[in-house]
Amino acid sequence: MVFNNEAVLPSATISSESDYNRTEELKAFDDTKTGVKGLVDSGLQKVPKIFIRPPNKVVQNSDSNLTHFAIPVIDLGGIHEDKRVREEIVHGIKSASENWGFFRVVNHGVPLSVLDEMIKGVIRFNEQDDEVKKEYYSRDETRNVRFNSNFDLYTSKAANWRDSLAIYMLRTLRSNPLHPSEMPTACRDISMEYAKHVSTLGDTLFELLSEALGLKTDYLNEMGCAEHCLLVSRYYPACPEPELTLGTAKHTDPAFVTILLQDDIDGLQVLHQDLWVDVRPIPGSLIVNIGDLLQITSNDKLKSVEHRVLANQVGPRVSVASFLTPAFNVASRYKPIKELISDDTGPVYKEISLKEYVNNFNSEGLDGKSGLDNFKL
């Protein structure tokens, strides 16, 4: 097994730089159906060329040592008992969403035992026998459960150093709703329980975001912003040369809101004031970030900001992203909310369908042009 003169992949012998064929090597990697973990398990000591990025794309210009650069923390405790506390929380979320696009929530109502078990479930799935995982390996977008390495493997300029398991948890109004038997046994029960808690938290967040925008409390929930929960678990194996690649390239999220659970290994960074700032893990907390669809409908009042994940020599690093969106098959169209448009502030974006947005996101892939730019008036 040779890959760029490194023993990693079957049927991919590269004798010289001039013989390098990216398409063939991508296919050879994809055909293993074992992802990045399979490469690491093979004992490779060099990062394969399909993962290597230009140095300016990987530079770790983090300013995280400056204490004033840390995402805001929102304590949701007492949100339903004290009106004054709720007003303070709404103000905090408004400020964080306008200035950072990211914030951390504590006292969010999701039991610590559920958070811990969700991380363990991701590890169980990824570290089980390869033949079991291969049953879920697919690029078929109609499947409710898909395991693969990079959704944009064949369109990106460089692959990301990660493996992913995507589960379409809530498929309201869909012809083929998810059945528990479709889910891997290694993480089935905890994924269902975790998604239930995250969906409840999502409803609360959309209430607070509605109030932050000066709208009635149930406005965003009535829009169906959280009808659909796409649960994506990321497994980032230790990387032998982290300075050459990324765990996840810079991007904004194709959602209204994303709720992220991460383990205790650093890696996540958010772009703030043109600096990559570390989002440090804090046990028991969850990260919330504004997605593109909420920036569109809020008419640029709330910000969907770029973020990325660094590769790391230690690992595996594990995270679970819950993307809250409308049901994917609903033909609803989205545009700036009329109450947020004034004579001084006209609409920034044209009306689009969810399908138009998702198709654009998939075609651009990560580290491409922001999907928001394509929909501005």
- Check residues 51 and 79 and name the one with the higher pLDDT: 51
Give yes or no for residue 2 having a pLDDT over 60. Answer: no
* Mean pLDDT lowest among 10-14, 34-38, 198-202: 10-14
Structure tokens at 91: 């103000």
Q: CB of 201 within 8 A of CB of 228?
A: no
Give yes or no for residue 280 having a pLDDT over 70. Answer: yes
Q: CB of 225 within 8 A of CB of 208?
A: no
Residues 31-59 have a mean pLDDT of 92
Residues 24-47 have a mean pLDDT of 95
Tell me the one-letter amino acid at 295: Q
- C-alpha angle 265-271-272 in degrees, rounded to nearest 5: 115
CA atoms within 13 Å, Cβ hemisphere of 204:
22
The phi and psi torsions of 260 (rounded to 5 degrees) equal -120, 130
Residues 121-129 have a mean pLDDT of 98
Residues 333-357 have a mean pLDDT of 88
Give yes or no for residue 174 having a pLDDT over 70. Answer: no
Query: Residue 246 — pLDDT band, cuts 50, 70, 90?
Result: very high
Residues 13-31 have a mean pLDDT of 76
Most confident of 108-112, 272-276, 365-369: 108-112
Q: CB of 47 within 8 A of CB of 241?
A: yes
- Check residues 64 and 109 and name the one with the higher pLDDT: 109
- DSSP for residue 49: G
Distances in Å between the Cα of 224 and the Cα atoms of 172, 254, 333 are: 11, 15, 12
* Mean pLDDT lowest among 47-51, 77-81, 190-194: 77-81
Per-residue exposure over 134-160, b if at least 16 CB sit within 10 Å of its own CB, e if not: eebbeeeeeebbbbbbbbbbeebbbbb
Residues 131-153 have a mean pLDDT of 93
The C-alpha atoms of residue 102 and residue 89 are separated, in whole angstroms, by 14
* Mean pLDDT lowest among 185-199, 261-275, 322-336, 360-374: 360-374
Residues 74-101 have a mean pLDDT of 94
CA torsion 196-201-203-207 (nearest 10°) is 170
Q: CB of 275 within 8 A of CB of 305?
A: no
The phi and psi torsions of 43 (rounded to 5 degrees) equal 90, 15
Structure pTM? 0.91
Structure tokens at 182: 């479709």
Q: CB of 169 within 8 A of CB of 195?
A: yes
Give yes or no for residue 16 having a pLDDT over 70. Answer: no
Q: CB of 305 within 8 A of CB of 207?
A: no
The phi and psi torsions of 101 (rounded to 5 degrees) equal 80, 0
Give yes or no for residue 171 having a pLDDT over 60. Answer: no
Query: Residue 315 — pLDDT band, cuts 50, 70, 90?
Result: confident
55-375: what CATH class? mainly beta
Hunting for tokens 């990260």 — which residue is that? 287
Residues 29-34 have a mean pLDDT of 96
Query: Residue 190 — pLDDT band, cuts 50, 70, 90?
Result: very high
The domain limits of the chain are: 55-375
Residue-level pLDDT at 319: 98
Tell me the one-letter amino acid at 375: F
Angle between helices 112-126 and 188-212 (to 10 degrees): 130
Pairing of strands 228-236, 317-325: antiparallel
